């Protein structure tokens, strides 16, 4: 962690070595062999954490170890101790690897340096919050107690103080935890810290940087086999993943002391403001727009509060003001109606001309050239007159092209479709989703090699806010905005029912024919069923009519039977009436003549005459009774006719 050395020849050599190693495939035996490598592991915030048995290990160096192992197949055995302890072990050959050593001339020959560094860092002087008498002026360090870790950084600090004729008391610590403890307790006025360390010092302020250096993953002297394998692995890593180191730094060092210790300018701005007034460009999703209620939406609505939260200054509020036109937003920034504008872009020259600085890019996206299918020319550009960023981009990168202004990006796209312009541009985060709209189906896109940043704009001279925004963006990381943009890209296109039908006409046509065929089959089936039902109903009607006729005949027969029965009943009644009279006459005669016979019992002749009359009347009565019995037998069907002779 000390002064740089010239590494270009070594890097070129490493690149050639990488190409050579790349061409050699490992044999199965080599692939299976795993070399056990002893690693010195010391506690260092962010860089190496978990320096004890059973602890979860994290950090920049730890992840770098694992990446190297992907290329070498090494299996690690961790040896714990303070930095001074493990450094001594490296010199004595008790460990094989140690991360984080800066190159020093006096170390050559006693440790093995690989050809490529594992990272680069700056060295910062850090003061306590409120110690405003310690400034970036080296003279303000005179007489101060400055703590520094026993490392190459101590030598850099000594050279810095000596070069500026500063007399200060330097206290060297063997371990970071003692250094941090004494600084936090106030025993030290200033702490020399790696720019990538001390992320938990919330009440510290960076004074200035006093040096920088590359640092290495060093190998114990005598382990040339490990050093050769490390060189090959680093060369392959640089060739296959050239952005790996940058990504690793962004992952771990966004919370460094430089990220968390506010500068004097930042603190002054925060003390003078209780809210950030954010101006944003409307109709520019996923970056910014207003929702149906007029509230800010898009990346800007999440980004600013998350910046303040990440920096631990949630007490500062956020207000938003939307602008239909980019120039109006920039003018509002110049009139101090807003504190920052988002998004701005188009290049630093135009930002300077407009009187504002651009922040660290929120998104650095490619710009897409949009043109008609089969026709890719760049002579005439359609440009949205409300988006000056597009105008600046075209003017900078295609200075010979003719620019035609249109009131919206939709009009620009239709101008390209209709042939009024050769092409237009769309920001990379917007292009694919906008072109999903079916009305732009005749357009194609081609990625431009020239990228266009989208940043916050802060008026020139507003140093505190610009640093605050840059610090927050650094803490959130470079992938933050792209990772949340998906929440808002859906608003860039509308896909309705008619779009779906138009895009799937063959499917819908087939479906319609199938439905029509099914309907026809259903109607035919229904017609056959209806015809059958009509026939069944006609047959039922005929059956009912026949039944009714039979019923009528039955009713007529019944009526006739009832009439006959009625007549028979009447005949019986008449017969009985007549018969009662006929029976009464002989009966009266029998009774009368019997009485006379009793009266003339002494007159034999008279009595016999009376008895003869009684006998005649009895015979007459018996004949009547037999007639009644014969009638009864005839009605009951029990009358039997026996032929016999009759005296005519």
Residue 541 has pLDDT above 80, yes or no: yes
DSSP state of 441: T
Alpha carbon distance 4, 2 (integer Å): 7
Q: What is the pLDDT of residue 255?
A: 52
Q: What is the pLDDT of residue 391?
A: 95
Alpha carbon distance 183, 465 (integer Å): 28
Q: What percent of the chain has pLDDT over 70?
A: 88
Smallest CA-to-CA distance from 301 within 319, 328, 327, 314 is with 319
Contacts of 507 (CB under 8 A, 6+ apart): none
Reading the block at residue 577, the tokens are: 């009436």
More confident call, 180 vs 279: 279
Q: What is the pLDDT of residue 647?
A: 81
Q: What is the pLDDT of residue 5?
A: 42
Q: What is the pLDDT of residue 24?
A: 41
Q: What is the pLDDT of residue 260?
A: 53
Task: Give the residue-averaged pLDDT of 308-320.
Answer: 89
Mean pLDDT of the chain: 83
Smallest CA-to-CA distance from 157 within 177, 173, 180 is with 173
β-pairing verdict for 356-358 and 169-173:
unpaired
Alpha carbon distance 570, 517 (integer Å): 77
Contacts of 420 (CB under 8 A, 6+ apart): 380, 382, 404
Reading the block at residue 347, the tokens are: 């290049």
Beta strands in 401-462 (DSSP E): 402-406, 423-427, 443-459
Coil/strand/helix, residue 608: helix
Alpha carbon distance 457, 466 (integer Å): 8
Distance of CA 367 to the CA centre of its chain: 26
Question: Is it true that the peptide bond before 298 is cis, omega within 30 degrees of 0?
Answer: no
Which of 144-148, 306-310, 387-391 is predicted with the least confidence, judged by mean pLDDT?
Answer: 306-310
> pLDDT tens digits, residue range 359-411?
989 988 888 999 998 777 889 999 999 999 999 999 999 999 999 999 999 99
Q: What are phi and psi of 395, to 5 degrees?
A: -65, -35
Q: Give residue 504's pLDDT band: very low, low, confident or very high (50, 70, 90).
A: low
Residue 356 has pLDDT above 90, yes or no: yes
524 sits in which H/E element: helix 505-599
Helices (H), 292-336: 299-310, 326-334
Beta strands in 134-260 (DSSP E): 145-149, 169-173, 190-194, 204-220
Q: What is the pLDDT of residue 503?
A: 61
DSSP state of 199: T
> pLDDT tens digits, residue range 178-213?
888 899 899 999 998 876 444 456 677 778 888 888
Alpha carbon distance 647, 644 (integer Å): 10
Which of 420-429, 577-586, 615-624 is predicted with the least confidence, judged by mean pLDDT?
Answer: 577-586
Alpha carbon distance 242, 248 (integer Å): 11
Q: What is the pLDDT of residue 540?
A: 84
Q: What is the pLDDT of residue 155?
A: 85
CA diameter of the chain: 203
The angle subtended at Cα 384 by Cα 381 and Cα 388, nearest 5°, is 100
Alpha carbon distance 79, 91 (integer Å): 14
> pLDDT tens digits, residue range 458-496?
999 999 999 899 888 887 877 788 888 888 877 676 655
Beta bridge partners of 279: 321, 341
Q: What is the pLDDT of residue 638?
A: 66
More confident call, 349 vs 526: 349
Burial of 24 (0-12, 13-18, 19+ CB in 10 A): exposed
String of DSSP letters for 525-578: HHHHHHHHHHHHHHHHHHHHHHHHHHHHHHHHHHHHHHHHHHHHHHHHHHHHHH
DSSP state of 120: E
Q: What percent of the chain has pLDDT over 90?
A: 40
Q: What is the pLDDT of residue 202?
A: 63
Alpha carbon distance 431, 489 (integer Å): 10
Alpha carbon distance 432, 489 (integer Å): 9
Reading the block at residue 535, the tokens are: 């026939």
> pLDDT tens digits, residue range 163-176?
999 999 999 998 87
Residue 520 has pLDDT above 80, yes or no: yes
Q: What is the pLDDT of residue 531?
A: 83
Q: What is the pLDDT of residue 251?
A: 75
Smallest CA-to-CA distance from 458 within 255, 265, 282, 262 is with 265
Residue 487 half-sphere exposure toward CB, CA atoms < 13 A: 14
Taking the CA atoms of residue 126, residue 310, residue 326 and residue 406 in that order, the dihedral angle to the nearest 10 degrees is 130
Q: Give residue 31's pLDDT band: very low, low, confident or very high (50, 70, 90).
A: very low
Q: What are phi and psi of 369, to 5 degrees?
A: -85, 125
Residue 7 has pLDDT above 50, yes or no: no
> pLDDT tens digits, residue range 558-567?
888 888 777 8
Q: Give residue 74's pLDDT band: very low, low, confident or very high (50, 70, 90).
A: very high
Reading the block at residue 267, the tokens are: 């603190």
37 sits in which H/E element: strand 36-41
Task: Output helix, strand, coil percentages for the chain, rounded to the nearest 5.
Answer: 50, 20, 30
Question: Is it true that the peptide bond before 343 is cis, omega within 30 degrees of 0?
Answer: yes
Q: What is the pLDDT of residue 445?
A: 87
More confident call, 150 vs 78: 78
Alpha carbon distance 373, 423 (integer Å): 11
Question: Is it true that the peptide bond before 517 is cis, omega within 30 degrees of 0?
Answer: no
Q: Cβ(120)–Cβ(194) under 8 Å?
A: no
Residue 2 has pLDDT above 50, yes or no: no
Reading the block at residue 415, the tokens are: 């101008």
Q: What is the pLDDT of residue 145?
A: 95
Alpha carbon distance 128, 191 (integer Å): 9
More confident call, 575 vs 364: 364
Q: Cβ(285)–Cβ(433) under 8 Å?
A: no
pTM for the model = 0.55
Q: What is the pLDDT of residue 495?
A: 56
């Amino acid at each position: 962690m000390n002064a740089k050395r010239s590494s270009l020849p070594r890097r070129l050599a490493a690149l050639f070595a990488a190409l050579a190693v790349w061409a050699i495939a490992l044999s199965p035996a080599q692939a299976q062999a795993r070399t056990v490598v002893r690693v010195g592991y010391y506690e260092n915030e962010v860089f190496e954490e978990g320096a004890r048995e059973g602890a979860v290990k994290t950090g920049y160096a730890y992840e770098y170890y694992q990446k190297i192992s992907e290329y070498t197949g090494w299996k690690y055995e961790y040896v714990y101790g303070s930095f001074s302890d493990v450094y001594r072990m490296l010199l004595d050959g008790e460990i094989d690897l140690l991360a984080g050593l800066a190159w020093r001339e006096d170390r050559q020959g006693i440790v093995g340096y690989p050809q490529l560094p594992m990272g680069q860092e700056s060295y910062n002087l850090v003061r306590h919050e409120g110690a405003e008498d310690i400034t970036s002026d080296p003279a303000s360090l005179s007489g101060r107690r400055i703590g520094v870790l026993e490392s190459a950084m101590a030598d850099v600090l000594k050279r810095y103080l000596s070069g500026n004729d500063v007399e200060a008391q330097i206290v060297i610590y063997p371990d970071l935890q003692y250094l941090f403890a004494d600084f936090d307790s106030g025993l030290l006025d200033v702490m020399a810290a790696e720019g990538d360390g001390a992320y938990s010092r919330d009440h510290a302020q960076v004074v200035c940087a006093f040096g920088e250096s590359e640092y290495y993953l060093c190998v114990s002297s005598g382990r040339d086999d490990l050093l050769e394998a490390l060189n090959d692995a680093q060369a392959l890593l640089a060739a296959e993943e050239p952005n790996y180191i940058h990504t690793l730094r962004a992952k771990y060092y966004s919370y460094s002391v430089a990220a968390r210790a506010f500068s004097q300018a930042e603190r002054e701005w925060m003390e003078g403001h209780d809210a950030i007034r954010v101006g944003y460009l409307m109709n520019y999703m996923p970056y910014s727009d207003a929702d149906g209620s007029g509230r800010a939406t898009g990346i800007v609505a999440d980004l600013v509060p998350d910046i303040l939260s990440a920096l631990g200054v949630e007490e500062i509020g956020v207000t938003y003001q939307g602008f239909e036109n980019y120039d109006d937003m920039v003018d509002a920034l110049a009139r101090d109606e807003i504190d920052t504008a988002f998004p701005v872009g188009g290049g630093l020259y135009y930002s300077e001309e407009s009187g504002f600085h651009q922040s660290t890019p929120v998104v650095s996206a490619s710009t897409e050239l949009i043109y008609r299918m089969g026709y890719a020319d760049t002579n005439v550009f359609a440009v949205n007159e409300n988006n000056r960023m597009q105008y600046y981009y075209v003017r900078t990168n295609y200075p010979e092209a003719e620019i035609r202004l249109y009131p919206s990006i939709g009009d620009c796209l239709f101008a390209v479709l209709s042939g009024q312009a050769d092409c237009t541009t769309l920001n990379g985060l917007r292009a694919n989703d906008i072109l999903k709209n079916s009305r732009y189906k005749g357009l194609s896109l081609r990625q431009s090699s020239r990228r266009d940043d989208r940043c916050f704009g802060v008026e020139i001279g507003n140093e505190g806010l610009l640093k605050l925004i840059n610090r927050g963006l650094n803490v959130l990381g470079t992938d933050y905005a792209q990772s949340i943009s998906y929440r808002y890209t859906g608003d860039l296109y509308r896909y309705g029912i008619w779009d779906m039908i138009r895009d799937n006409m063959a499917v819908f046509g087939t479906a319609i024919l199938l439905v029509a065929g099914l309907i026809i089959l259903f109607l035919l089936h229904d017609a056959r069923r209806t015809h059958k039902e009509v026939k069944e109903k006609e047959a039922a009607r005929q059956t009912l009519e026949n039944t009714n006729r039979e019923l009528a005949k039955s009713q007529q027969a019944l009526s006739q039977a009832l009439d006959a029965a009625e007549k028979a009943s009447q005949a019986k009644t008449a017969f009985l009436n007549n018969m009662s009279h006929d029976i009464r006459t002989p009966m009266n005669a029998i009774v009368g003549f019997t009485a006379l016979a009793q009266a003339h019992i002494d007159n034999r002749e008279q009595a016999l005459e009376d008895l003869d009359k009684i006998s005649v009347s009895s015979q007459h009565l018996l004949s009547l009774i037999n007639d009644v019995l014969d009638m009864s037998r005839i009605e009951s069907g029990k009358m039997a006719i026996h032929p016999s002779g009759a005296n005519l």
